[in-house]
Each structure stands twice: as C-alpha cells, then as structure tokens.
Amino acid sequence: MIPTAFEYFAPKSLDEALRLVERHGDEAKLLAGGHSLLPLMKLRLSVPRYVIDIGRIKSLRSIREDAGALVIGALTTHHDMETSELVGSRCPLLAETAAEIGDVQVRNRGTVGGSLAHGDPAADYPAAMVALDAEIVVAASSGTRRIRAEDFFVDLLTTQLRPGEIVTEVRVPASPEMSGSAYCKLHQPASGFALVGAAAQIALDSNGKLASVAIGMTGVAVRAYRARAAEAVLAGNKPSGKLLAEAAEKVADGIEPLADLHASAAYRRAVASVYARRALETAISRANERKA
C-alpha cells in the first residue's frame, strides 16, 4: 500500500503547471484532491514518475457568472459546490448532486475537475453535467478548447482529455425560467458511489407543457449519457403518470448496462427506469412550485 517513488512538483500558476505537463507527458499525473489518484497509486495501478500537485493554483478555485453562464473552477470542491449560494440559486441541480457525493471528508477534498477528468462511470457529477449541457474547458500550452459534457466521457475511466491538457473550468448555461431539476441516486452501500444516478432538468411553458427536458444518467453504463429516447417521449407534452412511465421505460434504450458484482445488467436497467422517473417527477413538481 505504498506508492512507488515519484518526483513531486507544486506549481503556483496554471502556466507553470502547463509547462510541467508538457515536459513530462505520459509520465506525469496531476494531483487535485487526491481521492481517486492516491488509492490508485497505493495499489500501484497508477505509477507516475512525476506528480504535479495543482492544489496551490488559487485561480482554479472559483465560482462566478459570465455572460449568463455559471463558471466553476476545476479545483472547486464538492463542499464548495454544495454550499455556494450562487450555485444553489442559478443551478440547484449541481448543488443537489454535490451533496450526494461520498461523505463529508470526500466532499471537503474532492474537486469537480478531478471527478470529471477521472471518468469514473459511477461518479455523480457526470449525470448532472450532461443533463445541463455543460462545457468542460481544458487548457494546454498550445491553447484552450471547450468540450461538451456529452462528448467528454468516452469509456470506462476514459475521457477526451489528451496528454498535456488540464481541466480549468466548467461552464454551465443558466437554468431557464419555470424550470425544475432533481438528482436521484441509488448508493452502492459500501463505497457510496452511484449504482444508478439520474439527473433531470426540465422547463415548463405557460400551458404546463414540457418546453425542454434533459435526462442525464450515470452508473448504468461505461460512461454517463443523455437518455434521448426518453426525452423524446416527453418533449412538448403535458406530463402525466402514463407519459412519465412510458419515458422511464426508455431510459436505457440503446445502452449496454454494466454488469458486475454489485448489480446485474437487468437490475441496473430496471433501477435506471425507477430513478429516472423519480427524478422527473421531482423536477416537474419543483418547476410547478416555482410557477405558483
């Protein structure tokens, strides 16, 4: 349970960190909260020669508004997200999701950038990020690029990140008027991660019809995804119990659910449907409360 020897760097600026990742390439690992990296290093599943601790780069820990979007720095901890007034008012789905992550120690150390970059299929944020149409901003020495959350997650522990790139922030469009959201999660009892997590973000029009609906799922498959077939059943319609049941049945359409020692594929598919329906019902009732 002791990592192999490595050289440690603690850059104080993003430019310095970018120079280090460019110089050391595949042999380097970034360290943020360390809650996923350190266990992997102790088990020697990850054996970086260089560890670049970005925890001292103050500019990466911020939450602000910019041109109508909520902009969240990569080093924002889950606790920051859970307790931020700005996140709570502009994007309650993210605050609710953050509050579901691990325990208080994990939420105090773990960061949004680390969670997204790690690409764990059972992590919570990815469901909310895909439902919110968030953009993940990554920097390299050669410049920056923005990646839609839906495209960012590629496979098990695999994202679009290239060697030499650092996640710097996440941009989340502001929630529209008369909108509601909810995150519903079945916790894996030992680890606390999501066996299934469903994030719903909806908006109602003045006639009570669904003007927009987005459902993000995590834990079900190798990567988080948008449940497009279920969304198509609901979009433009007035929500009813029958319609929600029909949509929930389609939440894992076209998806190959994971099967492991915690849950079979059939169980995950069934639970995905139940939790997506709960998230949708809660989101719709919250939108109606805001309207009233």
At 93 the three-state DSSP class reads helix
Element housing 287 (H / E)? helix 265-291
Contact between 117 and ligand FAD per CB under 6 A:
yes
Q: How many residues bind ligand FAD (CB under 6 A)?
A: 29
76 binds ligand FAD (CB under 6 A): no
CB of 149 closer than 8 Å to CB of 133? yes
What one-letter code names the amino acid at 222? V
The dihedral through the CA atoms of 49, 26, 193, 89 has a sign that is positive
Tokens of 83: 């307790």
101 binds ligand FAD (CB under 6 A): yes
What one-character DSSP code corresponds to residue 178? T
Query: Of 19, 86, 99, 102, which one interacts with ligand FAD (CB under 6 A)?
Result: 102
Pick 32 or 71: Cβ nearer ligand FAD = 32
Task: Give dist(CA 124, CA 116) in Å, integer.
Answer: 9
Q: Does 115 bind ligand FAD (CB under 6 A)?
A: yes
C-beta closer to ligand FAD: residue 187 or 228? 187
> Among residues 18, 20, 35, 220, which is the contact residue for ligand FAD, using CB under 6 A?
35
Stretch of 102-110, 220-228, 252-260, 284-292 contacting ligand FAD, by CB under 6 A:
102-110
The residue behind tokens 């110089």 is: 23
Comparison of 8 and 242: residue with beta carbon closer to ligand FAD? 8
Displacement of CA 29 from its chain's centroid (Å): 21
State how far the Cα of 104 lies from the Cα of 100, in Å rounded to an integer: 10
Among 18, 20, 30, 81, binds ligand FAD (CB under 6 A): 30
Q: Given the rule CB under 6 A, which residues bind ligand FAD? A: 29-37, 74, 101-102, 106, 109-111, 113-115, 117-118, 123-124, 161, 166-167, 191-193
